[in-house]
């Protein structure tokens, strides 16, 4: 079986070893990091740069994951390879989106049936990309599955380094709630879907415990035995526009469907379990 990952980045680095363990041949595209893909077990293709070989990989793949996000409002995979996807016949096609498509719910719950009401440019671009992929799938009978990911963390993407460096910030916005997901759990959700395809399926991918961002920073500081960073009021904190935009939306995301339909049992059901595992891995002997 052959798998192709367009945009083989951080998350794909957790999926590829799972596929390889089951005997899959995995090919991934990268802009400039072929050695990183080889280390994960994937054969690298440069994109942009090697479009002909990417087209061959699309034609021959049994499973295809689109992990490349919109760029300037346009989906790069569709811009370069829409005609190739129209002719392809994979058994499974996955697209990684974001829970940002739901917009701000003032801390309320959303599930896969909730209206899409993005409140940021990034969210609007993702809604447009989802629709474009759904339109292509409908026209050409492609087995599309959409995965709406919450905030991703994992090895190298946790709060510990900033806490140790004294640069972590505890921004407090009353009522602010985020959902999160460990990259290893994203990978197991994708693998479960590959094993049990449901073309047209849309899945939220998040853990069980939406929480305020300052609670995560506080718990990480406690694990490290470091002082709690001082609380900063979101309204007056000096933040970049990009950093401030992450606080524009507050919601709790339901993950019931991945459990009920795909049988997923989260490895890290909340940030406490995930952070503890990251710290254990950091402290493990080389």
Return the H-helix or E-strand segment holding 284.
Answer: none
Give the strand pairing for 144-149 and 231-233. Answer: unpaired
Predicted pLDDT of residue 67: 97
Rounded CA-CA distance 81/73 in Å is: 16
* Average pLDDT in the chain: 96
Residue keyed to tokens 């671009």: 125
* Residue 256 token pair: 């019931």
Domains of the chain: 2-153+182-206+254-267 (3.40.50.720)
Rounded CA-CA distance 279/286 in Å is: 14
Give the strand pairing for 2-6 and 63-66. Answer: parallel
pLDDT per residue as tens digits for the range 198-226 = 999 999 999 999 999 999 999 999 999 99
Closest CA to 253 of 213, 211, 220, 281: 211
Q: Give the residue-averaged pLDDT of 115-127.
A: 94
Percent of the chain's residues with pLDDT above 70: 100
CA dist 236 to 130, 173, 233, Å?
35, 10, 6
Q: Give the residue-averaged pLDDT of 30-57.
A: 96
Report residue 283's pLDDT band, with 50, 70 and 90 as the boundaries: confident
For residue 286, pLDDT over 70 is answered with: no
pLDDT per residue as tens digits for the range 135-194 = 999 999 999 999 999 999 999 898 998 999 999 999 999 999 999 999 999 999 999 999
CA 264 to mean position of chain CA atoms: 16
């Amino acid at each position: 079986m052959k798998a192709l990952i367009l945009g083989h980045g951080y998350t794909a680095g957790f999926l590829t070893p799972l596929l390889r363990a089951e005997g899959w041949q995995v090919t991934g595209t990268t802009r400039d990091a072929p050695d990183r893909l080889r280390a994960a077990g994937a054969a690298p293709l440069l994109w942009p740069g090697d479009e002909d070989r990417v087209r061959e990989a699309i034609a021959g793949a049994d499973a295809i994951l689109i992990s490349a996000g919109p760029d300037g409002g346009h989906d790069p995979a569709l811009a370069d390879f829409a005609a190739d996807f129209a002719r392809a016949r994979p058994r499974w096609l996955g697209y990684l989106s974001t829970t940002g498509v739901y917009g701000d719910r003032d801390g309320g719950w959303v599930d896969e049936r909730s209206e899409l009401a993005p409140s940021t440019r990034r969210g609007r671009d993702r809604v447009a990309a989802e629709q474009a992929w759904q339109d292509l799938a409908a026209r050409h009978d492609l087995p599309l599955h959409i995965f709406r990911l919450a905030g991703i963390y994992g090895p190298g993407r946790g709060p510990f380094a900033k806490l140790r460096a004294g640069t972590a910030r505890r921004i407090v916005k009353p009522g602010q709630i985020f959902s999160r997901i460990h990259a290893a759990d994203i990978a197991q959700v994708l693998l479960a879907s590959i094993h049990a395809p449901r073309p047209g399926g849309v899945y939220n991918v998040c853990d069980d415990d939406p929480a305020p961002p300052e609670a995560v920073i506080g718990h990480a500081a406690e694990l490290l035995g470091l002082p709690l960073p001082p609380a900063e009021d979101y309204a007056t904190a000096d933040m970049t526009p990009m950093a401030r935009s992450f606080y524009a939306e507050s919601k709790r995301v339901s993950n019931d469907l991945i459990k009920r339909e795909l049988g997923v049992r989260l490895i890290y059901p909340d940030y406490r379990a995930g952070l503890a595992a990251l710290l254990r891995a950091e402290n493990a002997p080389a």
